[in-house]
Amino acid sequence: MAVSFEILFKSKENAARVGRLQTPHGEIETPVFMPVGTQATVKALTPEELQDLGVSIILANTYHLYLRPGHEVIAGFNGLHKFMHWDGPILTDSGGFQVFSLAKLRKITNEGVTFQSHIDGSKHVLTPERAVEVQEALGADIIMCLDECTPYPVSREYAQSSLDLTIDWAKRCKEAKRSERSVLFGIVQGGMYKDLRVESAERLIKIGFPGYAIGGLSVGEPQELMNEIASHTLPLLPQERPRYVMGVGKPENLIDLVAMGADMFDCVLPTRNARNGQLFTRHGAINIRNACYISDHEPIEAGCSCYTCQNYSRSYLRHLYMAREILSYRLNTIHNIHFFMQLMKEIRLSIREGTLEKLRKEYCV
Amino acid sequence: MAVSFEILFKSKENAARVGRLQTPHGEIETPVFMPVGTQATVKALTPEELQDLGVSIILANTYHLYLRPGHEVIAGFNGLHKFMHWDGPILTDSGGFQVFSLAKLRKITNEGVTFQSHIDGSKHVLTPERAVEVQEALGADIIMCLDECTPYPVSREYAQSSLDLTIDWAKRCKEAKRSERSVLFGIVQGGMYKDLRVESAERLIKIGFPGYAIGGLSVGEPQELMNEIASHTLPLLPQERPRYVMGVGKPENLIDLVAMGADMFDCVLPTRNARNGQLFTRHGAINIRNACYISDHEPIEAGCSCYTCQNYSRSYLRHLYMAREILSYRLNTIHNIHFFMQLMKEIRLSIREGTLEKLRKEYCV
């Protein structure tokens, strides 16, 4: 198996665990947050900067890379790692989520989904087999089954048929898998229906995957409902396998979900918000465009050890942001990624020390 | 004096010289090319990257910084160096050029120029005294007299009155100067009229400055005319003072002007063109958006030692450019700045070795 998972420490207070995920491109300590590198670049940063920030695995988006530059171009480099000059672990999603959220004129059948590119309107078909083929060409360490991310709110009937489709596609993805250099994770759906989450998890486990993701969370539902469904679903997944909550999330979500037993996360929050001027601190997020920062000589957060806080004032960062300078996106992204990496480091430590609840109070004001 | 200039080597073949400019923020080997950091940032790069690329002095634009964030904000940091985290030498222009090229509803009198901000339409007055005051607040090592950059083509009458105004303003700038931490350079105008260039240089030298710039070149005139006026004007300037040709230029311009005795240059060419996908090589410039690069595994230029060429293919750079990724601007800018710094290094070496003519053939295909 290309990826192995070992649990190093289990919390006595809750379901949290510290683990180690071994991949062909290196070791990942879990719980882990994966910055999103949609188009084979984590926006604004170099691979060396990611490494310096303590990023151990990144996520890339199959939909975008399939459309541009095309997976064949990347296959010519033997995959994403060489293409983008990142030799650490990579996880690719299946492309399904973006087909449903970005593409135009999509039509879904049991066979797969046809859609038009949001870039040039060209017509494409994504099937489970194709999703695996494209991801294998991209050469990620962890690849994902094609699924339908069940929207919120939906009827029980919709959630059931979406779940049936996702299970059928999961089987076909597993059968389509060829490459030895990556492992395929299954995705639990079922919307906000607890019994459907049970059904989805059971049928997925029956097919059998080296890792399991929970999809369809953080899709617009209230936070308590997300936590309710997550805390219901996470224990259904095998203890000895990594559990990945897709598309989440905010610092408080990460701490909550870790306590429920989640191991992996991805979200555009730190990178996208950085580009919008929203910077994370332990005392809440600030927006650097705020006029109160025009002559503020302090760093974003006193005591922060990131490159940005070590060398630049809020005043300068506000100026760069207002002037739409490229350096603004860089410095803001460095700070936010540092913040998330630091949070995950403290989460891992807090699990071992039994202080996760205390950490939650520190971070979530 | 805050800045001193020493000539280390004089060419026997031509008027080229290698020199050393000593400033409060460090030493500069001349001939030198100054990358443009318009808004207190050389677009897309950090100060550390500039340093690694061998950049020894940068130019910042007074007009932009006066309008945003305002020179008082920067004065609160004791100047640009601390504000932007660059502790090397800085030269600021007077703001005049941008008032004439960017601002709206400008009205010029002997007193100065009134204009409206291109950002928010607010009304401002720039006088020679104000230009010096603002630049002193910005705290650059070298500051420039307010001048009118004579356009091309203009009548002899226009060029004469523009020259008279510039000389009058130069006197007033010198009188207005207060700070000891910077030196003030004068600017020769006179359009494409050789006798006016003589008059401008003579009157300026009579006022007396520690360095002289030639303005009003590369403003749309044919290249031969630029060279003709430059080769006519440069010998008029004192041997023992640094000579700065403003707003130039292309690699071949730099080599030509160095041979005529120029010491300093600035231009947006390497940075702006990088952001437009135009990348410099010894075999001419290439545009990375060209479809021929889609699967090209080679670096921009074989043998180039820059970070971009060491780690990324044309294929990846084309992908980043087409996807308008921030990393595209970064990697392209690194390459182009490296190219210009390498060129200047080779120019300095070629002067000493008497091989400037050979270098011209190598670079200008």
- Alpha helix stretches (DSSP H) within B45-186: 47-52, 62-67, 71-75, 80-84, 96-101, 128-138, 156-176
State the number of CA atoms in the 13 A half-sphere of A337 facing the CB. 32
Q: Which helix (H) or strand (E) holds B126?
A: strand B123-126
Give me the tens of pLDDT residue by residue for chain B, a chain 365 residues long.
Answer: 568 999 999 999 999 999 999 999 999 999 999 999 999 999 999 999 999 999 999 999 999 999 999 999 999 999 999 999 999 999 999 998 998 888 888 999 999 999 999 999 999 999 999 999 999 999 999 999 999 999 999 999 999 999 999 999 999 999 999 999 999 999 999 999 999 999 999 999 999 999 999 999 999 999 999 999 999 999 999 999 999 999 999 999 999 999 999 999 999 999 999 999 999 999 999 999 999 999 999 999 999 999 999 999 999 999 999 999 999 999 999 999 999 999 999 999 999 999 999 999 988 76
Active site residues of A: 93, 266
Quick check: B39 and A325 CB within 8 A? yes
Q: Is B288 on the interface with A (CB under 8 A)?
A: no
Indicate if the pLDDT at residue A79 is higher than 80.
yes
Give how far Cα B272 sits from Cα of B35, B126, B188, B286, Å: 10, 27, 26, 14
Facing residues of B34 across strands?
B266
Which of A61, A64, A327, A337 is best to mutate for the B interface (most B CBs within 10 A)? A327
Q: How far apart are CA B332 and CA B237, in angstroms?
A: 36
Domain B4-267, CATH homologous superfamily name and number: Queuine tRNA-ribosyltransferase-like (3.20.20.105)
The ipTM (two decimal places) reads 0.97
Query: What residues contact residue A283 under an 8 Å CB cut-off, 6+ apart?
Result: A301, A365
Neighbouring CB atoms inside 10 A of B81's CB total 21
Q: How far apart are CA B3 and CA B32, in angstroms?
A: 15
Dump the DSSP string for B299-340: -SSTT--SHHHHH--HHHHHHHHHTT-HHHHHHHHHHHHHHH
Q: Give the pair of three-digit tokens for residue B284.
A: 């001419």
Quick check: A320 and B44 CB within 8 A? no
Length of chain A: 365
Residue ranges of domains in chain A: 32-266, 268-365
Q: How far apart are CA A341 and CA A338, in angstroms?
A: 5
Check if the beta carbon of residue B127 is closer than 8 Å to that of residue B111: yes
**Torsions phi, psi for B256 (to 5 deg):** -60, -45
Q: Is A45 on the interface with B (CB under 8 A)?
A: yes
Which of A36, A42, A46, A324 is best to mutate for the B interface (most B CBs within 10 A)? A46
Q: How far apart are CA B67 and CA B81, in angstroms?
A: 18
Segment A289-303 mean pLDDT: 98
Q: What is the pLDDT of residues B55-113, one digit of tens each?
A: 999 999 999 999 999 999 999 999 999 999 999 999 999 998 998 888 888 999 999 99
Q: What is the pLDDT of residues B304-313, one digit of tens each?
A: 999 999 999 9
| pLDDT at residue number A364 | 72
Q: Is A296 on the interface with B (CB under 8 A)?
A: no
Q: How many CB pairs under 8 A join A and B?
A: 96
- pTM greater than 0.80 (yes/no): yes
Q: Are strands A58-60 and A104-108 parallel, antiparallel or unpaired?
A: unpaired
Q: How far apart are CA B145 and CA B166, in angstroms?
A: 8
User: Class of the A32-266 domain?
Assistant: alpha beta
Q: How far apart are CA A215 and CA A240, in angstroms?
A: 19
| pLDDT at residue number B1 | 55
| Chain A residues whose beta carbon lies within 8 Å of the beta carbon of residue B45 | 327
